[in-house]
């Protein structure tokens, strides 16, 4: 009988079966190896607790392993990597068996973190411990960072788990509170490589506070450097230096920026200490807004095209509720630009309360909006409603808006956390400020630090306005986060004549900007026509805002 050719469908099936059998065999062999490792542990225990790590024996095993691997045509670095995992796991198996014999039981470890079960720190601690020890782990949350540290000092817990970055506070740019950044990078083993890398930091005026190097067993001649520098990773100097550094390294990982304090600074600075700023895991810090007013942290500042949002500026975003046609959005852009707005708004995907109302032009609307923004030199903001639309919206817009109805759409927020674009997060109609901050946390924790919070009115028993503008939310939010806060007076008021007074109140309360609906022909608007300002209304509003903004010493951007 003819043998089945390997490239026929039957042949492929056979090869796959062979691969499956080999995989099963690998697992059987691993299980056998770990059984033997257990026996070694028992012997070590009987021999009165010899060290788990027998370096001479491991080196011997490694040498043979690599020799055998090469003889079989396998690459030595690959073989070393596999063996490293196997040896690490073997040590984890031996640890409780041996220490159990010497009465130092490490079957059970207590680990503390800041937060409540299920928060990021608790998940991260559980994950980390599962990969580091075979002991059973008892995880417990503490209300504050100092509580965790105290528990460790009092030996209530064996390990304390603390994050190094504070994300709800946003990027701490240009802050009074001194900041440090930790990095890991790899360099090739050639003359001057380290000097070149360090010169980049030195030239940017960055102070190095720690440097350690480690050779890489798997990749000979490559070194891993752990470096701490003073300054925040997003500060102009350091971020430029890190970009340059990245280009001359094999690999650069920024572990994070975090406040660092000395006793002296703690006494003299009236800025939020790390414990007073809401941390990575939201549960405890955001639970309550600080009782005693603190000096407000400096606003996180970021650029959107030619517009600067944050510390010391005031921004007007305006445009129609929805993009209705190419002509309509071009006309709207011209109108709001002439009135002094610098960011163009317009919905392409509309979250309408009624499914029979105009739903937006979708992708076509995004294209018109982008064209209008480019034509008039304005960054554009538009709503994204669904995960599957994120990429299309991000490709056309400069700011992605999450509408009030989606503030609790955590899957959407998590995906937006993976983006490198500003997100305008609107407060849900029935959401508390704390819930808004926790929603923001979903985006920040994903790595996207460019979050703009928006107060747009909440549902109360009052029916005279569409929603009730919570003006107090502006200073309240500003006390607990340094993210920019803007106000949407249009959806709060729902009535054209009420938009301006609410806008003025918002500016007076310290909002970093406004998002206002305006339409060249409000009576023809397909969406929210009752609240749309005309071009003239918008001009008048800008004129009325000027003395307030100037009086606060802010500049328009
Ligand atoms: C909007 O800004 O177009 C909008 C729908 O607002 P909100 O999500 O605040 O209702
Ligand atoms: Mn609207």
The Cα–Cα gap between 385 and 350 comes to 8
**Are 154 and 232 found together in one domain?**
no
Q: Which two tokens stand for residue 86?
A: 């196997």
The Cα–Cα gap between 280 and 164 comes to 9
Number of domains in the chain: 3
- Confirm if 455 and 483 have CB atoms less than 8 A apart: no
Ligand 1 atom at minimal distance to the Cα of residue 404: 8
Residue 380 gets the label, from left (phi > 0), alpha (psi -120 to 50) or beta, of: beta
The Cα–Cα gap between 459 and 4 comes to 72
Average pLDDT of 291-298? 44
Is residue 266, in this structure, part of any structural domain at all? yes
Ligand 1, from 382, 426, 465, 470: best to mutate by most atoms within 8 Å of Cβ? 426
Element (H, E) at 548: helix 535-551
Q: What is the residue range of 221's domain?
A: 179-276
- Confirm if 236 and 211 have CB atoms less than 8 A apart: no
Q: Which two tokens stand for residue 34?
A: 């770990």
Q: How far does residue 283's CA lie from ligand 2's centre (Å)?
A: 32
| pLDDT confidence tier of residue 267, bands split at 50, 70 and 90 | very low
Q: What is the pLDDT of residue 7?
A: 66
473 within ligand 1 shell (Cβ under 6 A): no
**Are 381 and 233 found together in one domain?**
no
According to DSSP, the residues that pair with 271 across neighbouring strands are none
Q: Would you give the DSSP letter of residue 427?
A: P
Q: How far does residue 527's CA lie from ligand 2's centre (Å)?
A: 6
**Are 413 and 467 found together in one domain?**
yes
Ligand 1 atom at minimal distance to the Cα of residue 488: 9
Q: Which residue has the higher pLDDT, 376 or 171?
A: 376
Q: In what order do the strands lie in the sheet with 251-259?
A: 208-215, 222-230, 179-188, 251-259
Average pLDDT of 487-514? 98
Q: What is the pLDDT of residue 534?
A: 98
CATH code of the domain in which 525 resides: 3.20.20.70
Q: What is the pLDDT of residue 263?
A: 35
Q: Would you give the DSSP letter of residue 518?
A: B
Is residue 528, in this structure, part of any structural domain at all? yes
Ligand 1 atom at minimal distance to the Cα of residue 527: 3
Return the HEC string of 227-261: EEEECCCCCHHHHHHHHHHHHCCCEEEEEEEEECC
Is residue 39, in this structure, part of any structural domain at all? no
| pLDDT confidence tier of residue 367, bands split at 50, 70 and 90 | very high
The residue assigned the tokens 């995960």 is 387
**Which protein residue's CA is at the shortest distance from atom 6 of ligand 1?**
403
| CA distances in angstroms from 245 to 13, 184, 199, 209, 295, listed in the order given | 49, 11, 9, 17, 35
Most confident range, picked from 73-87, 89-103, 333-347: 333-347
Q: Which two tokens stand for residue 152?
A: 């460790």
Q: What is the pLDDT of residue 268?
A: 28
The Cα–Cα gap between 231 and 81 comes to 36
Q: What is the pLDDT of residue 277?
A: 32
Q: Which residue has the higher pLDDT, 45 or 544?
A: 544
According to DSSP, the residues that pair with 380 across neighbouring strands are 344
Q: How far does residue 102's CA lie from ligand 1's centre (Å)?
A: 65
- What is the DSSP code string of 20-76? HHHHHHHHHHHHHHHHHHHHHHHHHHHTT---S--HHHHHHHHHHHHHHHHHTT--H
Average pLDDT of 88-108? 68
Q: What is the pLDDT of residue 285?
A: 30
Percent of residues, the chain, with pLDDT higher than 70 = 85
Q: What is the pLDDT of residue 251?
A: 82
**Which protein residue's CA is at the shortest distance from atom 10 of ligand 1?**
404
Q: How far does residue 368's CA lie from ligand 2's centre (Å)?
A: 18
Q: How far does residue 468's CA lie from ligand 2's centre (Å)?
A: 15
- Confirm if 363 and 355 have CB atoms less than 8 A apart: no
Most confident range, picked from 4-8, 42-46, 210-214, 296-300: 210-214
Which ligand does the CA of 469 lie closest to? Answer: 1
CA atoms within 13 A on the CB side of 489: 26
CATH code of the domain in which 139 resides: 3.40.190.10
Q: What is the pLDDT of residue 281?
A: 34
Q: Which two tokens stand for residue 464?
A: 């005279």
- Tell me: the pLDDT tens digits for 397-408? 999 999 999 999
**Are 413 and 477 found together in one domain?**
yes
Question: Poorest-confidence range of 168-182, 208-222, 333-347?
Answer: 168-182
Most confident range, picked from 94-103, 208-217, 301-310: 301-310
Q: How far does residue 371's CA lie from ligand 2's centre (Å)?
A: 21
| pLDDT confidence tier of residue 100, bands split at 50, 70 and 90 | low
Predicted confidence (pLDDT) at residue 283 exceeds the cutoff of 80: no
| pLDDT confidence tier of residue 234, bands split at 50, 70 and 90 | confident
Q: Which two tokens stand for residue 288?
A: 């309550």
CA atoms within 13 A on the CB side of 236: 4
**Are 200 and 314 found together in one domain?**
no
Q: What is the pLDDT of residue 443?
A: 92
**Are 140 and 266 found together in one domain?**
no
**Are 444 and 511 found together in one domain?**
yes
**Are 378 and 474 found together in one domain?**
yes
Q: How far does residue 491's CA lie from ligand 1's centre (Å)?
A: 7
The residue assigned the tokens 């480690």 is 214
Percent of residues, the chain, with pLDDT higher than 90 = 52
The Cα–Cα gap between 180 and 256 comes to 8
Q: Which two tokens stand for residue 158?
A: 């064996």
- Tell me: the pLDDT tens digits for 144-202? 888 888 898 888 998 888 876 555 544 333 333 867 889 998 887 778 888 889 999 98
Is residue 552, in this structure, part of any structural domain at all? yes
Q: What is the pLDDT of residue 271?
A: 29
Q: Which two tokens stand for residue 546?
A: 């000027």
Predicted confidence (pLDDT) at residue 280 exceeds the cutoff of 80: no
Average pLDDT of 461-478? 97
489 within ligand 1 shell (Cβ under 6 A): no
The Cα–Cα gap between 81 and 87 comes to 10
**Are 209 and 239 found together in one domain?**
yes
403 within ligand 1 shell (Cβ under 6 A): yes
Pairing of strands 380-383, 108-114: unpaired
Which ligand does the CA of 436 lie closest to? Answer: 1
Q: How far does residue 517's CA lie from ligand 2's centre (Å)?
A: 7
Most confident range, picked from 115-119, 257-261, 441-445: 441-445
Q: What is the pLDDT of residue 99?
A: 63
496 within ligand 1 shell (Cβ under 6 A): no
Q: Would you give the DSSP letter of residue 105?
A: -
Closest to 412 measured CA to CA, from 420, 403, 119, 434: 403
- Helices marked H in 205-354: 236-247, 263-268, 326-339
404 within ligand 1 shell (Cβ under 6 A): yes
The Cα–Cα gap between 441 and 449 comes to 9
- Please give the angle made by the CA atoms of 199, 204 and 206, to the nearest 5 degrees: 85
Is residue 502, in this structure, part of any structural domain at all? yes
- Confirm if 342 and 380 have CB atoms less than 8 A apart: no
The Cα–Cα gap between 221 and 131 comes to 28
Is residue 392, in this structure, part of any structural domain at all? yes
**Are 241 and 327 found together in one domain?**
no
Is residue 290, in this structure, part of any structural domain at all? no
Ligand 1, from 318, 321, 359, 530: best to mutate by most atoms within 8 Å of Cβ? 321
CATH code of the domain in which 228 resides: 3.30.70.260
Q: How far does residue 209's CA lie from ligand 1's centre (Å)?
A: 47
Q: What is the pLDDT of residue 101?
A: 47
Which ligand does the CA of 383 lie closest to? Answer: 1
Which ligand does the CA of 533 lie closest to? Answer: 2
- Exposed / middle / buried, residue 153 (Cβ in 10 Å: 0-12, 13-18, 19+): exposed
**Are 461 and 419 found together in one domain?**
yes
**Are 337 and 207 found together in one domain?**
no
Q: How far does residue 491's CA lie from ligand 2's centre (Å)?
A: 6
Q: What is the pLDDT of residue 292?
A: 37
Q: What is the pLDDT of residue 379?
A: 98
Q: Which two tokens stand for residue 206?
A: 């960055």
Q: Which residue has the higher pLDDT, 230 or 393?
A: 393
Ligand 1, from 354, 408, 488, 492: best to mutate by most atoms within 8 Å of Cβ? 488
Is residue 295, in this structure, part of any structural domain at all? no
Distance of CA 447 to the CA centre of its chain: 2
Q: Which residue has the higher pLDDT, 492 or 103?
A: 492
Predicted confidence (pLDDT) at residue 60 exceeds the cutoff of 70: yes
Q: Would you give the DSSP letter of residue 469?
A: -
Residues 6+ apart with CB under 8 A from 418: 446, 447, 448
Across all residues in the chain, what is the average pLDDT? Answer: 85
Average pLDDT of 386-413? 96
Question: Poorest-confidence range of 217-231, 307-321, 409-423, 512-526?
Answer: 217-231
Q: What is the pLDDT of residue 52?
A: 61
């Amino acid at each position: 009988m003819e043998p089945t050719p390997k490239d026929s469908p039957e042949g492929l099936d056979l090869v796959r079966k062979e691969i499956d059998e080999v995989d099963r065999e690998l697992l059987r062999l691993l299980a056998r190896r770990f059984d033997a490792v257990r026996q070694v542990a028992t012997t070590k225990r009987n021999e009165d607790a010899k060290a788990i790590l027998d370096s001479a024996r491991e080196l011997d095993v490694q040498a043979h392993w690599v020799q055998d691997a090469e003889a079989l045509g396998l690459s030595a670095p690959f073989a070393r990597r596999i063996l490293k995992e196997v040896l690490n796991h073997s040590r984890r198996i031996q640890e409780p068996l041996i220490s159990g014999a010497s009465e130092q039981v490490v079957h059970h470890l207590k680990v503390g973190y800041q937060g409540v079960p299920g928060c990021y720190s608790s998940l991260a601690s559980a994950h980390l411990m599962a990969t580091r020890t075979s002991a059973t782990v008892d995880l417990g949350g503490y209300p504050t960072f100092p509580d965790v540290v105290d528990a460790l000092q009092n030996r209530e817990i064996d390990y304390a788990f603390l994050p190094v970055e504070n994300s709800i506070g946003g990027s701490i740019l240009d802050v009074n509170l001194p900041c440090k950044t930790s990095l890991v990078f790899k360099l090739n083993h050639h003359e001057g490589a380290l000097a070149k890398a360090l010169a980049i930091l030195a030239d940017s005026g960055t102070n190095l506070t720690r440097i350690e190097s480690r050779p890489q067993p798997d990749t000979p001649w490559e070194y891993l450097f752990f470096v701490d520098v003073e300054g925040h990773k997003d500060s102009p100097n350091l971020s430029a230096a890190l970009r340059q550094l990245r280009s001359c390294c094999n690999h650069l990982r920024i572990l994070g920026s975090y406040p660092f304090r000395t006793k002296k600074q703690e006494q003299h600075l009236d800025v939020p200490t790390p414990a007073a700023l809401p941390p990575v895991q939201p549960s405890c810090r955001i639970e309550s807004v600080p009782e005693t007013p603190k000096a407000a942290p400096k606003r996180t500042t970021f650029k959107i095209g030619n517009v600067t949002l944050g510390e010391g500026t005031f921004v007007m975003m305006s445009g129609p509720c929805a993009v209705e046609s190419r002509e309509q959005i071009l006309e709207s852009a011209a109108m709001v630009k002439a009135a002094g707005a610098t960011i163009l708004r317009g919905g392409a995907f509309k979250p309408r309360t009624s499914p029979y109302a105009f739903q937006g032009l979708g992708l076509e609307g995004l294209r018109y909006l982008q064209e209008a923004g480019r034509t008039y030199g304005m960054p554009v903001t538009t709503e994204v409603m669904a995960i599957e639309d994120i990429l299309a919206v991000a490709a056309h817009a400069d700011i992605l808006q999450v509408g009030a109805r989606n503030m609790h759409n955590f899957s959407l927020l998590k995906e937006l956390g993976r983006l490198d674009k500003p997100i305008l997060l609107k407060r849900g109609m029935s959401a508390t400020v704390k819930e808004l901050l926790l929603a923001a946390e979903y985006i920040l924790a994903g790595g996207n630090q460019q979050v703009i919070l928006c107060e747009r009115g909440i549902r109360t028993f009052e029916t005279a306005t569409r929603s009730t503008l919570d003006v107090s939310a502006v200073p309240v939010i500003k006390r607990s986060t340094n993210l920019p806060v803007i106000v949407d007076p249009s959806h709060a008021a729902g009535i054209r004549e009420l938009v301006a007074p609410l806008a003025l109140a918002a500016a007076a309360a310290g909002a970093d900007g406004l998002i206002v609906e305006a339409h060249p022909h409000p009576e023809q608007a397909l969406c929210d026509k009752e609240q749309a300002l005309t071009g003239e209304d918008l001009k008048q509003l800008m004129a009325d805002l000027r003395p307030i903004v100037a009086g606060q010493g802010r500049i328009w951007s």
